[in-house]
Amino acid sequence: MTGLHVAVDGVGLARPWAGVGVYTTQVLRAMAVERPDCRFTVFVPDGVGTETARAVSYRRLPALPFAGRHMQWPARLRRLRPDVFFGAAGALPLMDVGSPAVITVHDLAIYRNAGWFPRRQPLSTRWVVPSSLRRADRVIAVSNNTARDAEELFGVDPARITVVPHGVSAGLRPMSGDELASARERLHLPERFILFVGTIEPRKNLLTLLEAWAMLRDRPDLVIVGGWGWNYEAIRDRISRLGDRVHHLDALEPSHLPAVYNLAKVLAHPAWYEGFGLPPLEAMACGTPVVVSDSSSL
């Protein structure tokens, strides 16, 4: 079938550096190239910047958090009458969108172990995601592990699930020595370091990494790239006690990440559970060795 009109949930573009934001951006870029016969109408929150691309247009999501997303927006979608709705962030509005719907499920870890996450969860976790999994015509799972979670936890028929693993952008590649020397100086990175990339929260198992690093006899520095998530106090205290060879980069521009991957001696990713686990794949694309936990999608 050619000439499809696809309505896209662009809510993830509000945080373009985060996983869903990166995914949405890269899928739109790739589809504009691979399917020039299609049109894409992307709905984004107020204040979100947009890219200019052929056959991609943008509209604003309604401002009201609940009524806007789950009542006003579906009414607009029904009037728009696209051929298909694509929920890139893994959710559908609670009201009917008036067309076949496809969602991408990135991570269902909270339904495996609620203790890895804050106690008070939003409506989307409690109602919207379970409802979306039941109602979507097709569910894209980013890993076999996430597909299994959808089947076992929500009873999704395997016939409705397609596994499409994440890829990486072309910018994640081995870099030249001159590029890396400039990046090391600009980012003030040590000569030898182990790298961790991810949100600082219990599920990422950073305390284990910190303890293991402290036991190394001839240890490189440790560089942690990621924002503070939740319940991180014990991790922050341990970092402060380990001295100045543990470096934390909080607000790192996404464009700088390829150089950091390239400069690392190894990426360590000891997470307890992942829906996919993008940093190990990104590091490998840059030619950097990885050490991961033997769990879930990893």
pLDDT at 111: 86
Please report which confidence band the pLDDT of residue 298 belongs to, taking 50, 70 and 90 as the band edges: low
Q: What's the whole-model pTM score? A: 0.85
Q: pLDDT at residue 22 above 90?
A: no
- Residue 164 CA: distances (Å) to CA of 16, 120, 151, 265, 277: 21, 31, 16, 29, 14
Query: What type of residue is 274?
Result: E
Domains and CATH numbers, the chain: 5-163 (3.40.50.2000), 177-292 (3.40.50.2000)
Q: Cβ-count burial of 16 within 10 angstroms (0-12 exposed, 13-18 middle, 19+ buried)?
A: middle
The β-bridge relationship of strands 221-225 and 138-141 is unpaired
Helix axes 206-215, 233-241, angle to 10 degrees: 20
pLDDT at 123: 67
Q: pLDDT at residue 97 above 90?
A: yes
Looking at every residue in the chain, the average pLDDT score rounds to 89
Nearest-angstrom CA–CA distance, 25 and 70: 23
Out of 28-42, 49-63, 110-124, pick the least confident: 110-124
